[in-house]
Amino acid sequence: MDGHRRRHNQKHNRFRYFLPSISAISGVILLLYLLLSILAPSPDHHFHHFGQHLSFDDKSIDIYDDTHADSSAFKLPTSSKIMSDRDLWSTNMSKFYFGCSNASSQFPKAQAVTRPNRYLLIATSGGLNQQRTGITDAVVAARILNATLVVPKLDKKSFWKDASTFSEIFDVDWFISQLSKDVKIIRELPHKGGRKWSPYSTRVPRKCNERCYHIRVLPLFSKRRAIQLSKFDYRLANNLETEFQKLRCRVNYHALKFTDPIVKMGQKLINRMRNMGKHFVALHLRFEPDMLAFSGCYYGGGEKEIRELSKIRKRWKTLHISDPEKERRQGRCPLTPEEVGLMLRALGYEKDTNIYVASGEVFGGNETLNPLRALFPNIFSKELLAAKQELEPFSPFSSRMAALDFMVCDESDVFVTNNNGNMAKILAGRRRYFGHKPTIRPNAKKLSHLFMNRENMTWEEFSSQVQQHQVGFMGEPNEARPGRGEFHENPTSCICEKTGNKSKPISSLPRKFGDNKVDENVDEFKNQESDNQDEDDIVSNLDYILNDTNVVDFSTDSEENDLEELLSD
């Protein structure tokens, strides 16, 4: 019994001996924990494109709120008003420019030049906006050939798989009547002996000018009364006689009007955006999986992103992207939603700005959009503005849904495009024609460096450099180089400048209408291959990406060169 008591006392004495040491160690651990808790950054502060998982709702953390900022110098101010001295909602000098596309007295009326039994049919390609360029150019092609135009057929086999006809998207009666003085247009081919004529189908090269049409197509009418031009997209040159350029504008800006159901629904969306505030910005985000796959860029999404985009990228056999960072440095990568938001804040747009997003499926979903929502919480789309029942007549048809986005973007105070595709170009040209409303196209090549190094500069430095780099990319009347001379983006022949009590076109008139003569030496056209099938296959693959393709004069030497041209500025 005494032995047991002695052993118990020995254990108790040893515990009393170690107690101070245990207390000291516990105290040190507690102090270290408290110190680490104070110094460690918030786990919600950093966002690397697809690396952070936020569920956006009204209670979401604002990842740009100063209360969650670390020691980085890059901190957004509460207000952006002091950061910009320009008018955010209008372009400089726009009041001195206006659209002017009326035909001159030297342009004969259609009745005087249209030849009997000469009919031109057009089969367009791509989505809504690519088809719009084809329809516009088809009217001009018919006038060049002095032919009667049959209402164009819309592409129903492309990626968009929209079965809509011309008259289901555009007001066909308005189209015919508005252009009656320029081109004779009929709905269907006439019948002969109770049977409809069978047209002869052919194709013209891309960027074919007046002389090219005279040589390639005009002789066919001596044997055939009806000629159909297939895959009719970008089959008309950028530079034509001024009267033909003005005709292009009359078609695109006056004759092509959406049907009443589309106009009424589109106007509802516009009114609902207007009811939220005096101004709103429309953003054509274009951050869909196919677009990102084609760009060959990397956005920090790890193995999952690489696997998903690589699978889509296999559609283009010769598309080999080995250096995503090089693509980004050269401005070939679409800006992320977060980067678009940072650009707009740097340009001076306030956090409470209302933004309408025109976009399809966004790669990464809400996780990708959350940084943009943190910068601009007031983000809307047609699906958020309208009830499901309101959109039911349009939702099965991609072109009609695209028409609704087109209307809202056209009527927005500021239009921001994250690509240089068909919708971007057509809206840029239309907004120039109707008053030079601000149209912002990111200078991706210059901005990419800023985005990659923004943590090493203050917000003031970042904002100042963004504003400098965006000069010439804001839709101003005097921008020197908007879009490589693409006529649909910059219709200079149809924009006049007010000078005192007079007005003049901002582009000179290099040729008078009627001066164009067919050169006797036509070997360059006769010997040219009618079309390179590989080239057309490439463009068909890209129709659905860009709806929208930045097609310039094609060289058939290299598919890779073509692909570079399609996405370059």
* Better-scored residue on pLDDT, 484 or 353: 353
For residue 40, pLDDT beyond 80: no
- Please tell me the least confidently modeled range out of 128-137, 175-184, 323-332, 512-521: 512-521
Please enumerate in sequence order all residues whose Cβ is within 8 A of that of 36, keeping only pairs 6 or more positions apart, or say none.
Answer: none
Give the model confidence (pLDDT) of 489-514 as tens digits.
999 999 999 876 455 665 433 333 34
DSSP-derived secondary structure letter, 255: I
- What pLDDT, on a 0 to 100 scale, did the predictor assign at position 220? 97
- What pLDDT, on a 0 to 100 scale, did the predictor assign at position 530? 36
- What pLDDT, on a 0 to 100 scale, did the predictor assign at position 520? 32
**pLDDT grade for 429, boundaries at 50, 70 and 90:** very high
Q: At 89, phi and psi to the nearest 5?
A: -115, 10
Give the model confidence (pLDDT) of 59-68 as tens digits.
333 456 544 4
For residue 49, pLDDT beyond 70: no
**Cβ proximity of 211 and 137 under 8 Å:** no
* Residues facing 229 on adjacent strands: 122, 202
**pLDDT grade for 76, boundaries at 50, 70 and 90:** confident
* Residues facing 195 on adjacent strands: 192
* Better-scored residue on pLDDT, 15 or 317: 317
- What pLDDT, on a 0 to 100 scale, did the predictor assign at position 152? 96
- What pLDDT, on a 0 to 100 scale, did the predictor assign at position 552? 30
Mean pLDDT for the stretch of residues 186-199: 86
* Residues facing 61 on adjacent strands: none
Mean pLDDT for the stretch of residues 376-387: 96
* Better-scored residue on pLDDT, 464 or 556: 464
- What pLDDT, on a 0 to 100 scale, did the predictor assign at position 162? 85
Percent of the chain with pLDDT over 70: 71
Highest mean pLDDT among 34-43, 359-368, 529-538: 359-368
Separation CA 348–CA 136 (nearest Å):
37
Q: What is the mean pLDDT of the chain?
A: 78
Give the model confidence (pLDDT) of 456-482 as tens digits.
999 999 999 999 999 999 999 878 554
For residue 4, pLDDT beyond 80: no
- What pLDDT, on a 0 to 100 scale, did the predictor assign at position 525? 35
**pLDDT grade for 534, boundaries at 50, 70 and 90:** very low
For residue 516, pLDDT beyond 60: no
* Better-scored residue on pLDDT, 117 or 17: 117
Give the model confidence (pLDDT) of 262-316 as tens digits.
999 999 999 999 999 999 999 998 887 777 777 777 777 778 877 888 777 777 7
- What pLDDT, on a 0 to 100 scale, did the predictor assign at position 548? 37
**pLDDT grade for 195, boundaries at 50, 70 and 90:** confident
**Cβ proximity of 144 and 118 under 8 Å:** no
Please enumerate in sequence order all residues whose Cβ is within 8 A of that of 415, keeping only pairs 6 or more positions apart, or say none.
Answer: 281, 282, 284, 409, 427, 428, 431, 437, 438, 439, 440, 475
- What pLDDT, on a 0 to 100 scale, did the predictor assign at position 194? 74
DSSP string, 287-298: --HHHHHHHT--
DSSP string, 7-42: HHHHHHHHHHHHHHHHHHHHHHHHHHHHHHHHHSPP
Give residue limits of the domains in the chain.
Answer: 94-98+260-497, 110-239
